[in-house]
Amino acid sequence: MAAGVALGVAQLIAGLIRGTTSPVISVGEWVIDHVPAPVKELAIRQFGTNDKPMLILGTVVLLAVFALVIGMLAVRRRWIGVVGIGVFGAVGVATAVTRTAATAKSAVPATVGSLVAAATLMFLLRPGPSGKVAEGASPAPTDRRRFLLGVAAFGAVAVAAGGAGRALARRFDVSSIRAAIRLPRATSVAPALPATADLGIAGITPFTTTNRDFYRVDTALVLPQVSPDGWELSVKGMVERERTYTFEDLLGRDDVVERDITLVCISNEVGGPYAGNARWLGVPLANILDEAGVHDDADQLVSRSVDGYTAGTPTAVVMDGRDALVAFGMNGEPLPVRHGFPVRLVVPGVYGYNSATKWLTGLELTTFASYDAYWAARGYAQQGPLETLTRIDTPQGLAKLAPGRVPIGGVAWAIRRGIEQVEVRIDDGPWQPARMGDVANGDTWRQWTLPWDATRGNHQITARATDGEGVLQTEERTPPLPDGASGWHSVVVMVS
C-alpha cells in the first residue's frame, strides 16, 4: 500500500510540475533505451503497437511484487521497509534524472513519492494499543482492524492522488493549440494521383493511409507535448552559419511543398504492417541545409527530437534532389501529436529510424565515423538501402474461402526506385503478372491485384516484385535486424 501511495503521489506531482513524469514512465523509458535490439524486435513481434501498454503493465507488476515482499519483511523488521522504499525511490530518481530532457525538477516525483511512502509504512506499522501490531505474528483483533482501516484509507489516498495527477497533466496537452493552427498553401502541390492509384478493391490497403490508421513506432512512453510557441529548429555542426527557425518561419516560407511519400519502418517483417503512405506538407530539407552551408566532409545529418531520440541520415541522400521534407502537415492537417507535432522529418527511401525524426528540434551536420545515432548505437545498420517488399493484403493468411473467383491483392514498395511489376504464384504454378495501380512517382507504394479462380483445397499464394530499375526482389528471408527484412511474402488459404 505504501508503494501504491508513492505512485499516486508521484503521479500527482507529475501533473503539477510540467516536464516531470511518474517513476513508472521513467523506469519504462530506461528499459526501452537499454533493452538489447533482439528483445525489442521480439516485443514488437509479440505485442505490436501494444508493446508500450505491456511494458507499463510489466513495470507495475514487478513493482507490486517487490513491494509485497518488502512489505512482508517490514512487518518483522521495519528498517527493511525503509531500505526497500529507499531503493525504489533511488531507481525512480536515477531513471528520471538520466532522461535526455531531464532537469533538476525531474527528481521531484520519485523523491516526494518515496518519502510519503516511508511515512505511510511507518504509520501503518506503528505499535497499536496492545503495543504489538508491528512486531507480533498475530496481532490483537483491534490492532488488525485498525491496520486494515489504515490500508483502506491509504488506498483511497493513492487512487485519488493518481487520478488528480492524470487530470492535471491534461493541461500540458497541446491538442487544442494544434487544432487552432492554419496550415499554409503549398507553392508546389502534390502531383495529381492517377485514377487507378487506388484500385478500389476491398481488402487492399488504401493508397493513402489516414492519420488514424497510420502506424506508429517510437521510443516515447508518453507522447511529447511540444507547443509550437517557443519551439525552434536549430541547424548546427559542420556548417558555414548556424541557423534557427521558428514554427512561423517555416510556415511563412515561399518554398512550402506537398508530396505523397511512403514511410517504412526497419522493424517491418515480410508481410508486416509498419509502412504507411501520406500526403506531407513541409519545407525542402535541402533548402534548409543550403541556407546553413554544409561542409563537404559532413557525410551525416543527425536529427534530434525533444525526447532525445536521434537519427542519422546520409547528407548526400538529402541533397540528391529527392523530396526530403521538414514536415508540419500530414494529409491536410497539422501533424498529429503521435506523428511528431509540430515538426518532423520525412525522407523518401530511407527507413524511418534513420530519417523520420518526430518532435524535431535540432539538425546537426557531422560524420558517420564520429557519431552513432540512437538505433545505430543499438546494433542496427548506420545506413543502407531500403528493401523492396511486396505484401499480400487479401486474402489474409489462413483465410477460409469458398471456391470461385476472388481477388488477390496488396501493396509493394521499393521507395525511390519505384515498383515496375508484381507477380503472383499459386502453389507451384507459373508466375502471373498482376494488374498494377498507377502512381505519380517512385516515392510511394503501389497497389496490385490478380483475380484468382479458387479451387478446393489448401493453396499457397506467393508474391514478388520487380523494382523500377528492373531488379527482382530477393527471395532470401532475412529478419529486420540489422538492416531490414527481405524475402517473398506468401500466405496459405483454405478453400472448401
For ligand MTE, the binding residues (CB under 6 A) are 214-219, 263, 265, 276, 305, 307, 309, 339, 352-353, 356-359
Answer with the entry of Mo ion, ligand MTE, none that 322 interacts with (C-beta below 5 to 8 A by kind): none
Rounded distance between C-alpha atoms, residue 49 and residue 352, angstroms: 16
CB of 309 or CB of 328, closer to ligand MTE: 309
CB of 383 or CB of 466, closer to ligand MTE: 383
Q: Min. distance of Cβ 173 from ligand MTE in angstroms?
A: 18
The amino acid that residue 194 corresponds to is P
CB of 101 or CB of 167, closer to ligand MTE: 101
CB of 2 or CB of 264, closer to ligand MTE: 264
Answer with the entry of Mo ion, ligand MTE, none that 305 interacts with (C-beta below 5 to 8 A by kind): ligand MTE
Q: Do residues 338 and 391 lie in contact, with contact meaning Cβ atoms separated by under 8 Å?
A: no
Element (H, E) at 313: strand 310-314
Ranked by CB distance to ligand MTE, the top (closest) residue is: 352
Q: Min. distance of Cβ 276 from ligand MTE in angstroms?
A: 6
CB of 8 or CB of 480, closer to Mo ion: 480
Q: Min. distance of Cβ 218 from Mo ion in angstroms?
A: 8
Answer with the entry of ligand MTE, Mo ion, none that 218 interacts with (C-beta below 5 to 8 A by kind): ligand MTE
Q: Which three cell numbers stand for residue 27?
A: 523506469
CB of 5 or CB of 265, closer to ligand MTE: 265
- Binding interface with Mo ion (CB under 5 A): 217, 265-266, 352-353
Provide the sign of the torsion angle of the four alpha carbons 5, 9, 15, 18, taken in this order: negative
Give the list of residues 6+ apart from residue 383 with CB closer than 8 angstroms, or none: 312, 313, 314, 350, 354, 368
Q: Can you tell me which residue has the cell 524511418?
A: 352
Answer with the entry of Mo ion, ligand MTE, none that 302 interacts with (C-beta below 5 to 8 A by kind): none
Provide the sign of the torsion angle of the four alpha carbons 352, 355, 356, 359, taken in this order: positive
Answer with the entry of ligand MTE, Mo ion, none that 495 interacts with (C-beta below 5 to 8 A by kind): none
CB of 234 or CB of 432, closer to ligand MTE: 234
Answer with the entry of ligand MTE, Mo ion, none that 339 interacts with (C-beta below 5 to 8 A by kind): ligand MTE
What DSSP assignment string belongs to 135-184?
Answer: T-SS--HHHHHHHHHHHHHHHHHHHHHHHHHHHHHGGG--HHHHHT--PP
CA angle 382-386-389, nearest 5°?
145
Q: Min. distance of Cβ 123 from Mo ion in angstroms?
A: 48
Q: Look up residue 229 and give its DSSP letter.
A: T
Rounded distance between C-alpha atoms, residue 104 and residue 247, angstroms: 28
Q: Min. distance of Cβ 303 from ligand MTE in angstroms?
A: 8
